[in-house]
Amino acid sequence: MGEDLVRKWKGFSLTEQERKEMILSHNTMDNAVKHGKFCLLAMIITNKPINKEAFKNTMTKVWRNEGWIQYSEVGTNKFLIEFNKDEDRQHVMKGRPWSFDRWLLCLQAFEGHMSINEVHFNREEFWLQVHNMPLASMTLKVGNQVGGNVGRVIKVQTDTRGIGWGKFLRIRVEVDITKVLMRGMFLTIDGRKTWVTFKYERLPIFCLRCGVIKHVGKICPQDSNGSSQNQYGAWLRATAAREDNFNQKRYVLNQNQQDGDEHYI
């Protein structure tokens, strides 16, 4: 409703009094900016109105913060969340993505110079699992290349050598949730083409027709094309892996060998 009103105002003919511009000095906003450092902006990505009290109670229990939390409703399914302690705010940001009723809770840093209608809530961080990779490609460099096709790479989980051997390569990426979730891609090594599959940890509700978490409009554009077969499914979801996913212990038989990184049997 707020966004619709803004669009209507752009078409109005303003009076001379309405055209006057008020210049705000920084010292009139210092107090709000100071407290804003302890705040996050949040939107539950659904067109359905949510139970606000259930949301506040649920997230407070899930986050298990040490200090208090205050929720201010700033729009439909949108909240400004203030934390008593900045450590709690950082804990919530680091633990993304969060969801409520399986709908994504999209979080943004406090933007004091923008109105809530100018905050797009289009990006969220996910752990991406890349399966079926050739073993030689499970590295920091390749992870950055692969993850760069999905979104902005934040971290590639590897050992100290930059190698990520395991069941899959794990990449932290910031995803544009208005775009189609990538299901995989081809990697070619020495002329040999391999399809690697993508899975997303803690993936919330998304559209099974078009693969988008947040539709730009209120309905899926694929609903009108008459296709009955879903191109996406629950197989895009992955069980969350541990942050310390790598066992870097080394086992040797020679008990006389001295190496701080090795464990002897």
The average pLDDT across 226-236 equals 85
The answer to whether the beta carbons of residues 148 and 201 sit under 8 Å apart is no
Q: Is the pLDDT of residue 29 over 70?
A: no
Percentage of residues in the chain having pLDDT higher than 70: 85
Measured CA distances, 104 to 23, 124, 139, 206 (Å): 37, 9, 30, 9
Q: Is the pLDDT of residue 226 over 70?
A: no
Q: Residue 112: which pLDDT band, with cuts at 50, 70 and 90?
A: confident
Q: Is the pLDDT of residue 34 over 90?
A: no
Q: What 3-state class would DSSP assign to 83? A: strand
Percentage of residues in the chain having pLDDT higher than 90: 70
- By C-alpha distance, which of 87, 98, 97, 95 is closest to 37? 87
CB atoms within 10 A of CB 50: 14
Chain segment 58-107, per-residue pLDDT in tens: 999 999 999 999 999 999 999 999 999 999 999 999 999 999 999 999 99
Query: What is the dotted CATH code of the domain comprising 23-118?
Result: 3.30.70.330
What average pLDDT does the chain have?
89
Q: Is the pLDDT of residue 187 over 60?
A: yes
Chain segment 232-254, per-residue pLDDT in tens: 999 999 999 987 666 667 788 87
> 202-219 burial by CB neighbour count: b if 16+ within 10 A, else e?
bbbebbebbbbbbbeeee
The answer to whether the beta carbons of residues 133 and 193 sit under 8 Å apart is no
- Model's pTM, two decimal places? 0.85
Return the pLDDT at 265: 43
DSSP 110-160: --TTS-GGG----EEEEEEEEES--GGG-BHHHHHHHHHHHSEEEEEE--T
Return the pLDDT at 246: 62
CA separation for the pair 42, 121 (Å, rounded): 8
CA separation for the pair 192, 46 (Å, rounded): 42
The answer to whether the beta carbons of residues 128 and 198 sit under 8 Å apart is yes
Tokens of 197: 């599959």
Q: What 3-state class would DSSP assign to 199? A: strand
CA separation for the pair 231, 240 (Å, rounded): 23
Q: Where in the chain is the domain with CATH 3.30.70.330?
A: 23-118
Q: Is the pLDDT of residue 1 over 60?
A: no
Return the pLDDT at 3: 60
- By C-alpha distance, which of 142, 135, 177, 167 is closest to 156? 142
The answer to whether the beta carbons of residues 220 and 155 sit under 8 Å apart is no
Chain segment 132-166, per-residue pLDDT in tens: 999 999 999 999 999 999 999 999 999 999 999 99
Return the pLDDT at 211: 96
